[in-house]
Every structure is written in structure tokens, then in C-alpha cells.
Amino acid sequence: RMSRHAQKLRDHDINPCVAETDATTKCMDDNDYKKDMCTAYFLKYKNCRKFWHSIMMQRRRNGVKPEMPPADERKKILESMG
């Protein structure tokens, strides 16, 4: 059974970067945990976190709830950006 924290990290409505997390983990597994082999995956994850953190802060400043848009709303945000 997963801890509550682990469950939150797997929840697409809470964590917008589940796919990036999984891809990074898979790369590390596939490459015997040699970080330099997975630099691109780490960068994608970092950019994902940075992007959604800025969206969350903007929503917080504007009083929008929930601060992290749910998964379906995030998809629309990404599509509107091209």
C-alpha cells in the first residue's frame, strides 16, 4: 500500500508532471542510474515543474481555486499555447 504522499504524487490532478517523473525513472532504471544518460529527461521534468508552479502562483495571486488546475483543465491550457 502506498503512503498518502506517494498517492498524491501519482494523482494527475495534483501532480501535473507524472509522465515526466515516470520517464525520468524509467531512463534511470534502463541506464543503471547513470544520471548523465538522462539529462534530457531531468530537464523536461524541471521545465514541467517550473511551468506549472508559475501557473499555480498566478492562480493563487488571482484568488483562483484550486490553485493547481485539474488534469482536464491543464490539457486545455497546454492546447491553447500550441
For the cut 90, the answer to whether the pLDDT of residue 82 exceeds it is: no
| pLDDT given at position 1 | 73
| pLDDT given at position 16 | 94
Segment 28-72, tens digit of pLDDT: 999 999 999 999 999 999 999 999 999 999 999 999 999 999 989
Report pTM. Answer: 0.83
Residues spanned by the domain of 47: 4-81
| pLDDT given at position 10 | 80
| pLDDT given at position 2 | 74
35 contacts: CB under 8 Å, gap ≥ 6? 28, 42
State how many domains the chain has: 1
> What residue type is 20 in one-letter code?
E
* CB environment 29-65: b (16+ within 10 A), e (fewer): eeeeeeeeebeebbebbeebeebbeebbeeeeeeeee
